[in-house]
Chain A
């Protein structure tokens, strides 16, 4: 009788799992090289359209909601970079519903690796970097053309804002995926908050109705992705009467969001009902 393997090594961590699965998907897509290049270009273009629209608008007007082109570009750059990072990491987590429907989630669940990392890396494609790239380009351009009195605090706030913003969007992605354990066909609802949130944050808050601004500040705290910190950097007042120190709270808000989203994910996976006989 052969002995069973003596020592069982611990499961790979979240990041190691992510790298392994993403690597497999990258090599899978490279099997179709020409399409990959076109999709990379396409992804860059289609995500840049949002900015083209803003540029077209500013070809007709000099300010929007009281904000100059450079200021709107700063909002656009921060929103798109944060979202682009979150999307590059978790972009196809909304395909979870499809995996639940066709039963292939089961095959991920029997691997000795965190499921969230596997689902996050699912169908990973380098073309997702297209959105991030154009977000960074616009952000760089806006930083060069902004007339801001930079202080150390403001300079530090920019990277903090980008990272917390990414984390907040990641939390939205994870919470949306958890929701799909109950409603597999409702994946598109998630787009309203992810893509919709990104679009919303590309414009100044003065453009929108007060109730919408309240909603994304107090209910779904997307305003902490960039509006509150970015308005501090730009030296602009927030449309709601809020204390200025809120501009520095995005890391806390992000941590709270991630905790809640993680909780939702755990509840979701425990209530998972595998399909099929």
Chain B
């Protein structure tokens, strides 16, 4: 069995009550996940991205057994997640970016000791995995510190270690670099790359940070409105989305929209203007042209973020 994750026509429908009047309420069905199918073979690292409310978290929660699908077939490591949730828990590691699984008032090491006992990890294996995580994630000085005293980046590293002590086949990461400083981000990414290379751990990560995807994942899946919009290489995503970067220029005064070849003005706000240009093109000639022809005060280039890429992918609306 080489496909570790298999989804066939998976759906999740929520019934929501919305207030329509002072007392009246209306029942409405929301299809958070609307017929998704994909497979992930062992050892692959996949980015699972989409705007907020697209159905990312709902998918992950079904894959971990937290939520029961409304329809479709779902298998992780050959198990039906919601029916065999506790069995599956032995085979997966989960890191929720915003919620720690560590024990707030206790030293970091205590959380690992609990994992040792709860996952029934053989002693030697536990020590080996812990040593490795401590070394690569730089946790040695933190083991005796109560979790509440850790910084966000330290806690995230601590959470990642906690999710890996039992040698999971699959690791789900929900926004693993959110709120981290540059150095912590780099450390986390390097660690995940090593983990994937050495242990062939299958990794599925959701993120808002395109750099996470660029540096970690060969394959990207884009989900929106509960449907899979794209499944393929990252490069292809840029093409499919005709990704554009944005040049923000501050002029000396309010002027009519700037005229420049290969770029178009998408927004004007007083003396500030936004110009979109293809992500594949260099910004230099554009900047040179504008600096020459217009009274330029300041400028900045904005990289396309995932939401923008996705937004452009299937509706032709401008970014701003």
Contact = CB atoms under 8 A, between A and B. Distances in A.
Direct A–B contact present (CB less than 8 angstroms): yes
Interface stretch (A170-178, A184-192, A255-263, A266-274): A266-274
B154 interface: no
Contacts of B106: 24, 27-28, 31
B198 A2 contact: yes
Contacts of A9: 90, 119-120
A252 B146 CA distance: 47
A109 B64 contact: yes
B85 interface: yes
Interface string B62-76: 001111100000000
B14 interface: yes
A6 B140 CA distance: 28
Contacts of A11: 86-87, 89-90
B199 interface: yes
Contacts of B118: 12, 17, 20, 111-113
Nearest to A109: B66
A107 B105 contact: no
Contacts of B67: 272-274
Contact of B87 (A2, A28, A103, A112): A112
Contacts, number: 91
Please report whether the interface of chain A is mostly helix, strand, loop or mixed according to DSSP.
Answer: loop
B43 A110 contact: no
B167 A274 contact: no
B57 A107 contact: no
A106 interface: yes
B191 interface: no
Contacts of B64: 109-110
Interface string B41-73: 001000000001100110001001111100000
A107 B163 CA distance: 11
Contact of B200 (A2, A106, A107, A112): A2
Interface stretch (B20-28, B94-102, B231-239, B241-249): B94-102
A34 B52 CA distance: 45
A106 B66 contact: yes
Interface in A1-43: 1-2, 4-5, 8-12, 17, 20, 24, 27-28, 31
Given A2-B198, A106-B96, A24 B89 contact: no
B167 A5 contact: yes
Interface residues of A, number: 31
B276 interface: no
A243 interface: no
Contact of B90 (A8, A20, A274, A276): A8
Interface string A111-142: 11110000000000000000000000000000
Contacts of B6: none
A277 B66 contact: no
B219 interface: no
A104 B110 CA distance: 19
B120 A1 contact: no
Contact of A112 (B43, B119, B199): B119
Contact of A276 (B43, B57, B104): B57
Interface in A77-124: 103-104, 106-107, 109-114
Contacts of A272: 66-67
B99 A112 contact: no
Contact of A110 (B89, B105, B167): B89
B34 interface: no
8 contacts: A5-B125, A8-B91, A11-B86, A24-B103, A28-B103, A104-B99, A106-B96, A107-B101
Given A28-B104, A112-B89, 12 more contacts: A1-B199, A8-B87, A10-B120, A12-B117, A12-B120, A24-B106, A31-B146, A109-B85, A110-B89, A110-B92, A110-B101, A113-B89
The 10 closest A-B pairs by CB, nearest first: A112-B89, A9-B120, A28-B105, A5-B167, A11-B86, A110-B94, A107-B101, A2-B199, A109-B66, A1-B200
